[in-house]
Amino acid sequence: MGNDRKIRVLIAKPGLDGHDRGAKVIARAFRDAGFEVIYTGLRQTPEMIVSAAIQEDVDAIGLSCLSGAHMHLFPKVMELLKAKGVDDILVFGGGTIPDEDISKLKACGVAEVYTPGASTQDAIAFVRENLKQK
Amino acid sequence: MTFDPEELKRLEQEKARWEQQTLGSHLERAPERSDPFTTVSGKPISRLYTPLDIPNLNYQEDLGFPGEYPFTRGVQPTMYRGRFWTMRQYSGFGSAEETNRRYRYLLEQGQMGLSVAFHLPTLMGYDSDHPMAAGEVGKCGAAIDSLQDMQVLLRELPLDKVTTSMTITSTAAVAWAMYIAVCEQMGIPYDRIGGTLQNDILKEYIAQKEYIFPLQPSIRLVTDTIVFGSRHFPKWNTISISGYHIREAGATALQELAFTIADGVTYVEEGIRAGLDVDEFAPRLSFFWDIHNDLFEEIAKFRAARRLWARLMRERFKAKSPRSWILRTHSQTAGVSLTAQQPYVNIARVALQALAGVLGGTQSLHTNSMDEAYALPTQEAVTIALRTQQVIAYETGVTNTVDPLAGSYFIEALTNEMEEGALEYLRRIEELGGMVRAIELGFPQQEIANSAYAYQRAVEREEKVIVGVNRFVDEREQRPIPILSIDEALQQRQVERLALLRKSRDKDRWNRAMDALRAAALGNDPWGKDLLMPKILEAVKAYATVGEIIGLLREVWGEYTELNII
């Protein structure tokens, strides 16, 4: 990766969940930290998210879900990335996600999950440190 | 309460002396904490409030008596001495059966009113077998696809004795129609059906984002329910004009107040435009406030809201009936303030927030459960939340007198400032062309996004302390609280139920009902023969599903696409 290329992050809201406060705050925090941020907006299907991620050539995807549907939606995104042969995008998530689900999501390949009380700075540092080689 | 000007002059001098001498010398020895002394909304609060802060307060004009204009002190003369606020826990999860059991449990535990939570597919107009419903069935509310599910949800509940609030907006008309149909089956006459429909579509575009259709047809649908309600349902609040979601999305207390009142103004204008006399429907408009952490800011917000609304309704809209001037409200403690860290501490937060709501004069109250940051409430958690209300009602003594904080220099100053600040926002919104135009321009959405971001930064810089999160953190914390989980097999059961329903219902009746609905949606006599509620009522009785009814309206009206505002 060249030094002058900004890290590109897609922030996405899969499913029907309309709680976008966290996603927007994260998006803005990443932007202020110098990342190139694409915010998908609401009501994205996993297919739409993966397609956007590939089209926008992002380095990381942040998935936000507060409706309880994360165990269906996040693994679906991971599945679709795998099916498309994409293994160089760092995926992280956030939302109302109980601890027992976090380990299951990590087993699917979600690198980190941020729950209520998390700091945007932690997420930013994590993404910087854990980007995959393109 | 207007103070004597001579007294005030003397007081001003004395205050200056106090600041120089007593305060001054004290500060040299013991400086104040470095915290900024702002409310959770960032509003600065003074060290001391005196009559100098409210020099022109006029008891009769600004406060009045409870149950009289401008209702600052409360909507009824006796308030909680007559009747406590309705303890109304918002609930729903999984299947209609499970939710029905929770409702019966809560009523047994002393809850006084029902409040229905629907799962996201119902809220968004999809049946449980729609692709967009995948993973969402039963997760954040009860799965209600048709009248059949609603019948199970409300089975054996005393709907003639308790009122029911339904938290649903874009698809509210369908839910209400189903509720009416169930009441009919129970033999309850229309004029005894009591409850509230949230139905506030403007706040969806602003904050909660459960919109479906574009603005104009959505407003038509809301007005339709208001018209229908004013004709047939004297005890039903057809709308709950909401600040809660606006606040939860990140707004300050002032923005919550201002944007909600501005939404209310819009609905009144639409009702009048539909040909109703304001007094025909205004008495059944209701509100819904958040109750956040700052005790006094919230109390002032509640009082300012009542006075603002009363003045608007009487002076601007020339409503003649005092019932049109009264702002009645449900309220809910702030979900967004509860933590995943050290979750039992949330019980304390909720208790304090609930107290603010009671001191503010709420008519109805939901207290959150301590597991808010994890999942929907377990039975144990919701019981503690309900008991919190009961302790306030029966043990604290705050219900012995009406509006106990009136006359406090601080509270009255804060109430005045909230009202003034809200009026300033209302002016800006009027200049933009009204709330609908403001939404199209992204104005409230950007204000909220800015406030949300500012707050997060304040928290991350520890300017705002959240106990257990950025101070008094317990690294070894295990967090083993029981969590409610939803049966994943529910989705398949609902899918099968739907298949059976579609096979067994009267297809001719369904076809006729759907055709009539389509014709009305396309018609140009919206408050006459093309009123939609009667058609929706017939459709639900023909066992048309939520997805089918809303799907039809989606075809006719299209869908809203929002501007992405960060």
Ordered by start, the domain boundaries in chain A are 8-130
Virtual torsion, Cα B542, B543, B545, B551, nearest 10 deg:
-20
Give the C-alpha distances (Å, rounded to integers) separating B364 from B99, B163, B198, B289: 21, 11, 14, 10
Both structure tokens of B337: 């303030």
pLDDT tens digits, one per residue of B518-554: 999 999 999 999 999 999 999 999 999 999 999 999 9
Contacting residues for B529 by C-beta, under 8 A, at least 6 apart:
B520, B523
pLDDT tens digits, one per residue of B369-425: 999 999 999 999 999 999 999 999 999 999 999 999 999 999 999 999 999 999 999
pLDDT tens digits, one per residue of A106-127: 999 999 999 999 999 999 999 9
Mutate to test the interface with A, among B126, B374, B565 (most CBs of A within 10 A): B374
Give the C-alpha distances (Å, rounded to integers) separating A114 from A22, A64, B495: 10, 9, 33
Q: What is the CATH number of the domain that holds B127?
A: 3.20.20.240
With vertex at residue B406, the alpha carbon angle to CA B402 and CA B408, rounded to the nearest 5 degrees, is 145
Measured distance between the N- and C-terminal CA atoms of chain B, rounded to whole angstroms: 46
* A34 CB within 8 Å of a chain B CB: no
With vertex at residue B257, the alpha carbon angle to CA B256 and CA B262, rounded to the nearest 5 degrees, is 100
Backbone angles phi, psi at B387, to 5 degrees: -60, -35
CATH tag, A8-130: 3.40.50.280
Residue B133 lies in a domain: yes
Averaged pLDDT of chain B: 97
Task: State residue B537's pLDDT score.
Answer: 98
CB B346 within 8 A of CB B339: yes
Q: Say how many residues make up chain A.
A: 134
Q: Would you call B168 exposed, middle or buried from its count of C-beta atoms within 10 A (0-12, 13-18, 19+)? A: buried
Residue B314 lies in a domain: yes
Q: What is the mean pLDDT of residues B446-473?
A: 96
Both structure tokens of B139: 């997760």
CB B136 within 8 A of CB A67: yes
Distance of CA A95 to the CA centre of its chain: 11
Cβ pair A67:B466 closer than 8 A? no
Residue B256 lies in a domain: yes
Residue at token pair 């707050």? B455
Mutate to test the interface with B, among A11, A13, A20, A49 (most CBs of B within 10 A): A20
* B120 CB within 8 Å of a chain A CB: yes
Task: State residue B96's pLDDT score.
Answer: 98
Q: Give which of A23, A29, A13 is closest to A122, Cα–Cα.
A: A29
Give the integer Cα–Cα distance in Å for B518 and B237: 26
Q: What is the mean pLDDT of residues B17-23?
A: 97
The total number of structural domains in chain B stands at 1
Q: Would you call B524 exposed, middle or buried from its count of C-beta atoms within 10 A (0-12, 13-18, 19+)? A: exposed
Residues 486-505 (B) with a CB less than 8 A from some CB of A: 486
Task: State residue A132's pLDDT score.
Answer: 77
Give the C-alpha distances (Å, rounded to integers) separating B100 from A36, B92, B95, B185: 48, 8, 9, 17
Residue B483 lies in a domain: no
B70: preceding bond cis by omega (within 30 degrees): yes
Cβ pair A19:B460 closer than 8 A? no
pTM assigned to the model: 0.97
Mutate to test the interface with B, among A13, A24, A49 (most CBs of B within 10 A): A24
Instruction: Using an 8 Å CB-CB cutoff, list chain A residues near B169.
Output: none
Of all residues in chain B, the percent with pLDDT exceeding 70 is: 100
Residue B523 lies in a domain: no
Give the C-alpha distances (Å, rounded to integers) separating B171 from B89, B177, B211, B237, B527: 21, 10, 9, 16, 19
**Closest partner CB to A120 (pick from B136, B376, B456):** B456
Range of the domain at B266: 72-442
pLDDT tens digits, one per residue of B86-139: 999 999 999 999 999 999 999 999 999 999 999 999 999 999 999 999 999 999
**Closest partner CB to A98 (pick from B121, B374, B460):** B374
pLDDT tens digits, one per residue of B239-257: 999 999 999 999 999 999 9
Instruction: Using an 8 Å CB-CB cutoff, list chain A residues near B336.
Output: 21
